[in-house]
Structure 1
Amino acid sequence: MATAVVRVYQEDWWPFQNLPQALRAFERQTGIATELSWDKVGVGSIETMFEHMVHSFTDDDPPFDLICTDEVMLRRFAAEGRVLALNDPMARDGVDLGDVTAETRRAATLDGAVIGLPCCNVCNLLLYRRDLFDKYDLPVPQTFDEVKSTGLALQAAVRRDGSGEFYAFATRGAGGGGHAVWTIGSFLASYGARWLDDTGAVLPIGDGHRRALATYLDILKAVSPPNQDAISFVELIRDYRRGRVGMILEVGNEYAHLFHDGPALAEKSAVALIPAGPFGRRANLYSPLWSIPAKSKVRREAWELAKYLASSRQLLEDGLKSEAIETSSLSVLYGPEFDRHFRADLLGAVRATRAIAFEERPFGTLGLAACEVIGDAVNAAVSGRLTADEALERIHGGLTTLAGRP
C-alpha cells in the first residue's frame, strides 16, 4: 500500500518561514509524510495563490489536502459542502477554539461547523518614521483626518529640506481580491458602514460608505504616491524601506520582519494603532484557516497535521523563529516569551488591536468574487477611472448579482 502523503499549500510569506521545519518535525513524530507547495504573492501574483485554493476545494481530485485558506473564500466552499467539518475530530482529540478571540471563532465556523483551525490574526497598524515626526515636532495621527493634516505638514517639511521624492502616507490600492479591498474595509467600518449584514444580505449604499471612500481617496490624493493604484503590501514595505514614504497602513507581521531585518530603520520607526473614524478604530481581520477539502483522500492524516500546526506550542515556535507576531493564540500572544522577543511598541499595538479586529471584508458566503468586485471598483476610483459614487454603485450592483447566484 502506498504511503499517505499530506500535500500542503501555504503562502510563502515571512511569518510562515518556519513551516518547512515544522513539517519535518511532524514527519519524525508521526511517520506521516508531507509535501509543501507555496507561492509568494503581490500585485499580479496573488491570483496564483487564490487559484490553488479554489482548485483544492472544487476539483474532484484536489491538488492539496491541507490548505491555509482565506476565510472569506473558505466560507463559500463550506456553504457548498466542499470543506471537511472538524467538529468530530476536535471533540475526539480534545481540541477547541477557546484560545482565540470571539471574532476568530466566528471566522472559523459556519452554521455551527468548524471549517478550519486558526493560526494567525492579521490586522492593520500604523507604521511611521518616528525620527521625522520628532524632527518636525509632529503628533502621531489618531484619526484619518489627522493622517491627511499631519501628512501634509510632514510632506511639506521633508520636501522643503531637500527630499523631492517623498510622500507622507501610503497603503494598499491595487485591484483584485487582496489589496484595496483590504484597506477600504478599515475605513468603511470606522465610518459605521458594512458591505453585508449579519445574515449575509447586501446592504444599501449609505452616507457611511460615501464618507469612508471619500476620505480614503482624499488622503491618497493629498499625501500619497501617484502609483497608489498599483501598490500591494510588497510595494508598501519597499517604499518605506527606501524612505519614499513616512507612514504606511499595513499589518503587524510585516513590521515584525522589517524590524528584525533592518535594525537601523527600526530605530527610526514606531508603531501605533490604526487611526480612528467617527465610529472609532476598526483594524480589519484576516484569519486564514488550516482547512481540509471534503474530497481529500488523506483526511485523517491531514487532520493530524492541522492539529499539530495550529497548536499553541507550534504557534509559539513559529512566532519566535519567523517573527510571526500576529498569532491567533491568545496564550502565546500574551505570554512572556513574546515579551522577551518583540519590541514593546509593536507587541503592545498588536495586543491592543485584538479588541478592535473584526471581519470588515464582505464576510458572508459570496466568496472571493465579492472581494474582487470591491477591490476592482475601489482601484478604479483610486486611479480616477471611476468617481467615488460610480465605484460604490458598481460595488453594490456586483455584490447584489453575486448574492443572486444559486
Structure 2
Amino acid sequence: MVLSSLLWLALTPRWAMAVEISISCGAVGQELQLCREGAQAWAERTGNSVRVVSTPNSASERLALYQQLLAGGSTAIDIYQIDVVWPGILARNLVDLGPMAGNAPAEHFPAIIRNNTVDGRLVALPFYTDAGVLFYRADLLRKYGLPVPQTWDEMTRTAGRIQQAERQAGNGGLWGYVFQGRAYEGLTVNALEWIDSRGGALVDAQGRVVVDSPAAREALSMAAGWIGSIAPPGVLNYSEEEARGLFQSGHAVFMRNWPYAWALAQGADSPVRGKVGVAALPSGDPARGAARHSGVLGGWNLAVSRHSRHVAEAADLVRYLTGSDEQKRRAVKAAYNPTRPALYQDAQVIAANPFFRTLYPSFESAVARPSRVTGRKYNRVSSAVANEVHGALSGSSTPEAALHELSHELRRMSRRGW
C-alpha cells in the first residue's frame, strides 16, 4: 500500500497530484510562525498547499481536542503535533511512519525514537526536544554579588533577598520566581521536577505508586511556601506564556520554562535582552538525601492521522519539517532544541544558543514522565497530579493531605493494571 502510493507520487505529474495538507501546530512563543514558514517552504517545493491549524496552548486542552477528532474519524487534520507523552495514548489512530521514514529514525536521539515506537510501529517523528531549565536575571545576580543557585533552598533565599532589596529601591513590581502553576500538564511537569530532584517519583518503573513520600512532602511544602512570598498569587493560573510574559517584562528574578523562551528574551524588543542567563534547574539539598538537577523531558513530535486522505503527502511533509535543515533553522531562529545530535556540533546552532552546549547533558538525561508505564491512563494520572498539587499550592489542601489523596487516586487507577 505504502509502496504503491509512493510509486503513484513519483509517476504522477506535479500539477495533477497537488493536494492540501492540514497540520496542527502549537502557538507557544514563535511556534505557529515557524510552522507556517516551514510548511510554506515545503509547499513551494512540492506544488501542494498547506493549511495550518492553530490549537490550544494548554497541552491538556489540546489532547482532549485531538482525542475527540481522532475518535470521530475526522479528516480535518492530516498531521498532528503531539506531546512526547502522547504516543501511547493516540497510537491506534496514527499511521506507522517507519516504512516511509527511510534512514531518518537513525539520525534522531534513540530515546525519542523508542518513545515514539508503540507495539513496533513508529507513530511519530521527533520535531523538537526539551527539558525544563532555569532562566535567571544575570544582571541582578551580579548587582547583589550572588551566584546562580544550585539547590531549591538557595534559589528560594536568593529570590527573596533580591525581591526585597529591589522593592525597597522602588521596583515594587518585582517577584522572585515564576513557573507554571495552573492545574494542567505544566504543573504536573513542575511537580515531578521538584520531587525527582529530591530522589522521589510519582510512579516507579514497575508501575508502583510511590508519590506519598518524604521527598514529595518536602517538595510540595517548599512550593506552597512560594505563593504570595516569592511567587505572585496569580502564578496559580500561569502556563508557559504567562510566566514568560512576567519574566520577559522584567518583573521576575527567576523563571522555570522551556528553552524556547531564550530567543524571545533576547529579542530586539525584549526589556531583558542581554540580561538573562540559563542554567539547569536546582537540585534538592544533598545534605538531606538523594539530590540531582532534574529537568523533565519535553518536546513535540509530528504524526499522521490514519484518517488522512493524503497519507503519502502528509508523511513527506513530516519528513521535511523534522529534517536537519528545518531543525537547524528553528534552532538558530528561535532556540528550539533539535532532536538530531549532530546539530549540537553545528557552529551556527551553538552561536545562536550557547547554553545548548552547557545544558546538553540535561537534555540527554532529562527525567521522563510516567507515560510509558501508565499507558493510556497517563492523561488521568496527570490530571490527578495537577489537581491535587494545585490544591496544596492554593491552600485548599495541605501538602500531606494532597499527597495522601493523590496516592489513593493513583492506586485506584492501577488496581487492574496500567
TM-score (norm. length: structure 1)? 0.88
Residues 264/287 of structure 1: CA separation in 2 closer, same or farther (3 Å cut): closer
Give the one of 50, 55, 58 matched to 1:34. Answer: 50
CA distance in 1, matches of 2:70, 2:327: 25
| 2:28 maps to 1:10 | no
**How far did residue 182 of structure 1 move?**
1.9
Give yes or no for contact 1:181–1:361 (8 Å, CA) kept in 2.
Answer: no
CA distance in 1, matches of 2:271, 2:135: 15
Letter of the structure 2 residue corresponding to residue 194 of structure 1: A
Give the one of 140, 157, 166 matched to 1:149. Answer: 157
Give yes or no for contact 1:193–1:208 (8 Å, CA) kept in 2.
Answer: yes
| 2:88 maps to 1:75 | yes
Partner of 2:186: 179
Give yes or no for contact 1:124–1:249 (8 Å, CA) kept in 2.
Answer: yes
1:2-401 to structure 2, matched below 5 A, reads: 4-16=19-31, 17-39=33-55, 41=57, 48-78=61-91, 81-90=92-101, 93-100=102-109, 102-176=110-184, 178-203=185-210, 205-220=212-227, 222-262=229-269, 264-277=271-284, 278-321=290-333, 323-342=334-353, 344=354, 346-360=355-369, 362-363=371-372, 364-365=374-375, 366-401=377-412
**How far did residue 224 of structure 1 move?**
1.4
Aligned-partner SS, 2:150: coil
Aligned-partner SS, 2:298: coil
CA distance in 1, matches of 2:56, 2:225: 31
- Number of corresponding residues: 394
**How far did residue 245 of structure 1 move?**
1.6
Letter of the structure 1 residue corresponding to residue 77 of structure 2: F
Aligned-partner SS, 2:177: strand
Q: After alignment, is 235-244 or 198-207 more displaced?
A: 198-207
CA distance in 2, matches of 1:32, 1:196: 45
CA distance in 1, matches of 2:84, 2:352: 29
Aligned-partner SS, 1:260: coil
CA distance in 2, matches of 1:261, 1:347: 21
Give yes or no for contact 1:281–1:356 (8 Å, CA) kept in 2.
Answer: no
Give yes or no for contact 1:123–1:286 (8 Å, CA) kept in 2.
Answer: yes
Give yes or no for contact 1:326–1:350 (8 Å, CA) kept in 2.
Answer: no
Give yes or no for contact 1:325–1:333 (8 Å, CA) kept in 2.
Answer: no
CA distance in 2, matches of 1:331, 1:318: 15
Q: Larger relative CO (CA 8 A, sep 6+): 1 or 2?
A: 1
Aligned-partner SS, 1:223: coil
Give yes or no for contact 2:211–2:403 (8 Å, CA) kept in 1.
Answer: no
Aligned-partner SS, 2:86: helix
**How far did residue 196 of structure 1 move?**
2.4
Provide, for residues 19-47 of structure 1, a one-character-per-residue CA deviation record: whole Å limited to 9, x for no partner: 222222212323333221113525xxx55
Provide, for residues 80-125 of structure 1, a one-character-per-residue CA deviation record: whole Å limited to 9, x for no partner: x2222222223xx23224432x432342223433221111112211
Unaligned stretches of 5+ residues in structure 2: 1-15, 285-289
**How far did residue 221 of structure 1 move?**
5.4
CA distance in 2, matches of 1:281, 1:47: 26
Percent identity reads: 19
Cα RMSD between the aligned structures?
Answer: 2.5
TM-score (norm. length: structure 2)? 0.86
**How far did residue 243 of structure 1 move?**
2.8
**How far did residue 389 of structure 1 move?**
1.9
CA distance in 1, matches of 2:371, 2:394: 22
Give yes or no for contact 2:179–2:239 (8 Å, CA) kept in 1.
Answer: yes
Letter of the structure 1 residue corresponding to residue 22 of structure 2: R
Unaligned stretches of 5+ residues in structure 1: none
Aligned-partner SS, 2:283: coil
CA distance in 1, matches of 2:358, 2:30: 17
**How far did residue 275 of structure 1 move?**
0.9
